[in-house]
């Protein structure tokens, strides 16, 4: 019976199985309440035998990476990793207009875990950043985010973000949020995600912004006589001013601005120790490092071409 995946119970992605949270407009013969997905090309079926033949048969799928451009590669040792493991993280930039079929499949799979984001088949105006962990047999997808190629007014740096259930609570969500802000810094304009965010998404961004600003404060001389301003943090982190202000308000950090004649959100030297105390039990972010960028992302390539 052909139907959408509204009654889908379980997903098999590579060697991982997990439950879907929401419906997604897959159109396939769901003979069983399962969706079997090739973790490399993302072809899907509801029949285990077909999936097993595709992945492990006499002529198995030869795809071992997402399509598109490899833009980031970081081999992280156990000693350097904030979560105490060694792994190689890679990010692929996949243009929706060049690889529509892959991006449609990715959007359909992601929709199983997103309540509000409805765009699935129309991917021409999107670019996808796919995060994988490199293994012996290929690059294993753990999640992705998408963003609009052209935004005319507000500088949105993220359209939707998905980390698949087996890979959550490992720092990958914060890493991809950080990568979206890395793109904002490359573009020279602070950004923010498109709204609305889910409750979990709001909390993820609150935590990320606090950690990113704290990381900047640790890198900066805490005894510096110059107050830490919103503009300085925006420039270094890529986070927009409104979101930086929320962290200052959370810290109750204000300083008197003589020009404006009032107190404004601003961090002064004595706030550092209080901030450090609040953040002492938090796991540091998996850093997005400029020197691990293999080639320029799409927006920067267009700028150079222009």
Catalytic entry in 87, 115, 194, 232: 194
Backbone angles phi, psi at 83, to 5 degrees: -100, 5
Known catalytic residue: 194? Answer: yes
DSSP 293: B
Contact 200, 212 (CB under 8 A): no
Tell me the β-bridge partners of 239.
191
DSSP 303: H
Scored b (16 or more CB within 10 A) or e, 78-88 reads eeeeeeeeebe
In angstroms, the Cα distances linking 102 to 66, 98, 213, 228 are: 8, 9, 35, 44
H or E segment to which residue 207 belongs? helix 199-219
Residue positions annotated with a catalytic role: 194
């Amino acid at each position: 019976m052909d139907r959408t995946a509204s009654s889908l119970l379980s997903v098999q992605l590579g060697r991982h199985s997990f439950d879907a949270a929401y419906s997604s407009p897959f159109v396939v013969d769901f003979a069983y309440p399962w969706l079997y997905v090739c973790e490399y090309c993302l072809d899907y079926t509801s029949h285990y035998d077909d999936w097993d033949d595709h992945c492990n048969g006499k002529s198995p799928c030869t795809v071992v990476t997402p399509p598109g451009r490899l833009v980031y590669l970081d081999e992280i040792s156990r000693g350097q990793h904030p979560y105490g493991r060694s792994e190689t993280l890679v990010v692929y930039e996949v243009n929706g207009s060049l690889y529509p079929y892959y991006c449609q499949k990715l959007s359909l799979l992601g929709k199983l875990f997103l309540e509000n984001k409805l765009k699935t088949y129309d991917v021409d105006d999107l670019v996808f950043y796919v995060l994988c962990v490199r293994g012996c047999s290929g690059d294993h997808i753990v999640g992705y985010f998408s963003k609009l190629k052209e935004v005319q007014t507000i500088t949105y740096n993220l359209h939707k973000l998905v980390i698949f259930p087996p890979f959550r609570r490992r720092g990958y969500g914060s890493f991809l949020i950080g990568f979206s802000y890395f793109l904002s810094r490359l573009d020279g304009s602070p950004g923010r995600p498109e709204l609305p965010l889910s409750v979990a998404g709001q909390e993820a961004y609150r935590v990320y912004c606090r950690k990113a600003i704290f990381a900047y404060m640790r890198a900066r001389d805490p005894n510096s006589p110059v107050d830490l301003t919103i503009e300085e943090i925006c420039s270094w982190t890529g986070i927009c001013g409104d979101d930086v202000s929320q962290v200052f308000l959370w810290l109750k950090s204000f300083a008197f601005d003589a020009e404006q004649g009032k107190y404004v959100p601003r961090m002064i030297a004595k706030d550092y120790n209080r901030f450090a105390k609040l953040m002492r039990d938090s796991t540091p972010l998996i850093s997005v490092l400029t020197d691990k960028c293999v080639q320029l992302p799409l927006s920067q390539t267009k700028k150079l071409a222009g």
